[in-house]
Amino acid sequence: MPHTIDLLEQADRDVVVVESSYPDGHVVATHTHKRVQLLHAISGIMRLETDAGTWIVPPGFALWIPAGIRHQLRTTRVTTRSLYFRLNALRNAPQACQVIEVSPLLRALIDAAAHVPVLYDTRQRDGMLMRLLLLEACQSPAAPFHLPMPHDSQLAALCNAFFAAPMQTVTPSQWAQVLHVSERTFYRRFLAGTGLSFMEWRRKACVFVAISRLTLGDSVTRIALDMGYESSSAFSAMFRKETGKPPSAYARHAVQDRLSLPA
């Protein structure tokens, strides 16, 4: 892998594409790229971690990763296509990580680009394909799949433990007791560390984990009960409020149907 990435970084082309598959639970250690990366999830689910927080990338979505950003990737039965862009090839290079929706057209372009040689002819069809890919990738709408994580080591430990087994019944007072601070101090500390209130962060974390489980085939009812909701309807209402879509939109069959649509 390292020699392949080195080749991609040095290739005298604006865009280079590589496909990768990772087993369940695989962790790609913290690293950086000289190019801007667009990481597209074909199947499975990815969790990207940086100093600025955590992003999830379900199938049918992609993640912009700016050049030079230190990041670590956790995967669950994932197949990806990574696009590496030269900085001067992008009209507005992303300054922060951002998940985007992959339209049928963009997906078709990425699929086609995966079969283009690294040193493609810029004057022929492959070159035109890559130029269109550049334009389309920059037009894609953003998706709200970012969860800020605190730098405070004590808060980070609590947040990571919650992310591993989220329960919507967890209260600020419980975490304040763990940290041996007043509830008011905890509120201030958490807001300063994440930019979100505890309740906002808790909902987002529940949604992130739910999306991961939905795309892998878990039922809405099972997820709702595991997270401490009294009913699947209460969970679904929260989920729709956070994402603008019902949980069924991320269920495995819905994702498979969406990805199989003709471009």
Residue 247 — φ and ψ, nearest 5°? -55, -30
Residue 68: which of 50, 90, 89 has the closest Cα? 50
Picking from 104, 137, 170, the residue at the C-terminal end of a domain is: 137
pLDDT at 3 over 50: no
Q: Do residue 164 and residue 66 come from a single domain?
A: no
Domain residues for 223?
150-254
Do the strands 27-31 and 15-22 form a parallel or antiparallel pair, or are they unpaired?
Answer: unpaired
Tally of structural domains, the chain: 2
pLDDT at 1 over 50: no
Picking from 137, 161, 181, the residue at the C-terminal end of a domain is: 137
**What are the pLDDT digits (tens) for 166-201?**
999 999 999 999 999 999 999 999 999 999 999 999
For residues 28 and 147, what is the distance between their CA atoms, to the nearest angstrom? 19
142 falls within a domain:
no
**What are the pLDDT digits (tens) for 22-64?**
888 889 999 999 999 999 988 888 999 998 899 999 888 999 9
Q: What is the pLDDT at residue 122? A: 93
Q: What is the pTM of this model?
A: 0.83
**What are the pLDDT digits (tens) for 67-93?**
999 999 998 888 899 999 998 888 777
223 contacts: CB under 8 Å, gap ≥ 6: 210, 213, 214, 235, 247
Picking from 70, 104, 137, the residue at the C-terminal end of a domain is: 137
Torsion of CA 215, 196, 95, 104, to 10 degrees: 30
**What are the pLDDT digits (tens) for 228-245?**
999 999 999 999 999 999
